């Protein structure tokens, strides 16, 4: 990831966290105030991404990526997101199963060298 991408990412996260609408101008202003020089196209690309994608979904699914196939999760058709949609998107937690301990030779009363 380049410095420009990283700076725009942080700027978009800052704007989202403060509840401010994410625009190319605001991203560019934040990046400039941090004394970071970026290519002129980065702020507009990140602003377009933030218009089309829900930032909270991106944050929640940051570890869901990888080599496997992508899973698409969409909001209900009514337009109102419910807590059930977020719960359905969360991966199931596996329960840890304890493996049975193998008996060692010491437990049986003899060893290899007796």
pLDDT in the model for residue 81: 47
pTM assigned to the model: 0.52
In 3-state terms, what secondary structure has residue 48? helix
User: CB-hemisphere CA count at 13 Å for 84?
Assistant: 2
How far apart CA 11 and CA 34 sit, in angstroms, is 10
pLDDT in the model for residue 4: 86
Mean pLDDT by 10 residues, the chain (114 residues): 88 90 92 91 90 84 62 52 48 60 60 64
């Amino acid at each position: 990831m380049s410095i420009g991408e990283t700076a725009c990412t942080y700027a978009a996260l800052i704007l989202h966290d403060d509840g401010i609408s994410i625009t190319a101008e605001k991203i560019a202003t934040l990046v400039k105030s941090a004394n970071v020089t970026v290519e002129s196209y980065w702020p507009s690309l990140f602003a377009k991404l933030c218009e089309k994608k829900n930032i909270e979904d991106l944050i929640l699914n940051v570890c869901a990526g990888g080599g496997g196939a992508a899973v698409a999760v969409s909001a209900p058709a009514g337009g109102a997101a419910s807590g059930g949609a977020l719960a359905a998107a969360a991966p199931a937690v596996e329960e840890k199963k304890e493996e049975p301990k193998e008996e060692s030779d010491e437990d049986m009363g003899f060893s290899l060298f007796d």
